[in-house]
Amino acid sequence: DVGGDKVLQKKWTTFLKAQLECSEPGHFPFNVIHHAFALPCNDSDSDGCADFYAVFTSQWQAGRAGSAAVCAYRQEDLEEVFEGKYKELNKESSRWTVYSGPDMSPRPGSCSMGASSDMALSFMKNHFLMDGKVSPLHGQPLLVKSDVTYTRITVHETHGPQQCPPCPTDKGLLHKAVELPESAHIVESIQLFAAPEPVKNLLLAPGKGILYVGYSRGVLQVPLANCSLHQSCAECVLARDPYCAW
The CATH number of the domain where 94 resides is what?
A: 2.130.10.10
What backbone torsions phi and psi does residue 88 show, to the nearest 5 degrees?
-140, 150
In a domain, 230, yes or no: no
Note the pLDDT tens digit of each residue in 122-149: 888 899 999 999 999 889 999 999 888 9
The parent domain of residue 40 ranges over 1-150
Q: How far apart are CA 121 and CA 105, in angstroms?
A: 10
When divided into structural domains, the chain yields a total of: 1
Q: In this structure, are residues 187 and 71 in contact, taking their beta carbons and an 8 Å threshold? A: no
In a domain, 212, yes or no: no
Q: Which of 15-24, 58-67, 173-182, 224-233 has the highest mean pLDDT?
A: 15-24
DSSP 86: B
In a domain, 103, yes or no: yes
pLDDT at residue 47, as a whole number: 57
Q: How far apart are CA 81 and CA 131, in angstroms?
A: 8
3-state secondary structure of 78: helix
Bridge partners (DSSP) of residue 218 are 215
> Averaged over 73-94, what is the pLDDT?
92
In a domain, 210, yes or no: no
In a domain, 199, yes or no: no
Q: How far apart are CA 242 and CA 225, in angstroms?
A: 9
In a domain, 185, yes or no: no
Banded model confidence at residue 114, pLDDT cuts 50, 70, 90: low
Q: In this structure, are residues 133 and 18 in contact, taking their beta carbons and an 8 Å threshold? A: yes
In a domain, 13, yes or no: yes
Beta strand 201-205 with 210-215 is antiparallel
Give how far Cα 81 sits from Cα of 18, 144, 165, Å. 7, 25, 26
Bridge partners (DSSP) of residue 164 are 156
Of 57, 17, 20, nearest to 134 by C-alpha is 20
In a domain, 191, yes or no: no
